[in-house]
Amino acid sequence: MARLEPNAMSTTFQLDTATSRAHPTPQPMRRLTVPAIRGRKADGATRDPLVMLTAYTARQAQLLDEHCDILLVGDSLGQVIYGLPSTLQVTLDMMIAHGAAVVRGSYHSLVVVDMPFGTYEGGPAKAFESASRIMAETGCAAVKLEGGEAMAETIAFLSQRGIPVMAHVGLTPQAVNSLGGYGARGRSQQEHDKIIADGKAVQDAGAFAVVAEGVIEPIAVALTGSLEIPVIGIGASARCDGQVLVTEDMLGMFERVPRFVKRYEDLAGVISKAAGTYAAEVRAREFPTADQTYQPK
């Protein structure tokens, strides 16, 4: 993304349909900042809930940007884009490539990039090495990592060195093997206490926001009320300070989705229907027509 002076107008890249190349075009809007997102919650409440969706490509970012406060380049791209069995196989190079594309395709939303499994758990120094590379090579505003109290030292280390961190507690997909599956968290008092403690730990360590995933609603409400930083729910509660979903899930790109997903469109059906019509026309030699071919002058 073109780098401008700190107070300059944001720049986005419009795709030229004639050449498929990206051209920088100034937009009359400043990109949201980490302090602006953090400041949406005041006196323990967020009047205007934060809207967050995942994005993995420049074009997807362009379509979502005007509607969102935060675009998350999630490690869910491993399953959504690459067809991997889980997020554990996602690499730093994958996240950087997609993160840079999303930054190029947006001008309004705060862009946050997930730190993939194995790139930060080894300690603060390892995490800083990975996070600084993500920030430098993508132009994103922040990174996200999973874990509560166990990651507090790392979050503090990054935050103190100029790398904003969004935390992630509750159901943490990168820890699916130790959790024993993707079931909701917080059904026992021990889990309840841990989620609340994790939230406070990441806040005290310097996280500017925290995602609460797959937790029973009373815990999500309690966590939101107990923290000064925004709590963004996914499979949590409408009373959180914001919401996030995997875009492909809410657009109906997959037959099976988690219970907490609401499908806002059947995009898979639209694509399949269009492809079927195209295939039928090709086989009937009805496409291309004179409108799609070049004739002698």
What would the two tokens of residue 37 be? 């997102």
Please check if 193 is assigned to a binding site.
Answer: no
Please check if 76 is assigned to a binding site.
Answer: yes
DSSP run (H or E) holding 54: strand 50-54
Neighbours of 20 (CB within 10 A): 7
Please check if 75 is assigned to a binding site.
Answer: yes
As a whole number of angstroms, the distance between CA 161 and CA 157 comes to 7
As a whole number of angstroms, the distance between CA 22 and CA 100 comes to 13
As a whole number of angstroms, the distance between CA 53 and CA 73 comes to 9
Cα angle: 196, vertex 245, 67; to 5 degrees:
115
Residues near 233 by beta carbon (within 8 Å), at least 6 away in sequence: 211, 212, 213, 220, 224, 240, 242, 243, 244
Please check if 200 is assigned to a binding site.
Answer: no
Does residue 212 contact residue 231 with C-beta atoms inside 8 Å? yes
Cα angle: 78, vertex 81, 83; to 5 degrees:
65
| 66 is a catalytic site residue | no
Which amino acid, 151? M
| Cis geometry, peptide bond prior to residue 124 (ω within 30 degrees of 0) | no
Please check if 149 is assigned to a binding site.
Answer: no
DSSP run (H or E) holding 114: strand 110-114
Q: At what angle do helices 124-138 and 152-159 cross, to 10 degrees?
A: 50
Does residue 95 contact residue 56 with C-beta atoms inside 8 Å? no
Catalytic residue among 5, 191, 213, 265: 213
Task: Write out the binding residues for Mg(2+).
Answer: 75, 114, 146
Q: Residues at the annotated binding site? A: 75-76, 114, 144, 146
Q: Residues marked as binding for 3-methyl-2-oxobutanoate?
A: 75-76, 114, 144
The residues annotated with a catalytic role in the active site are: 213
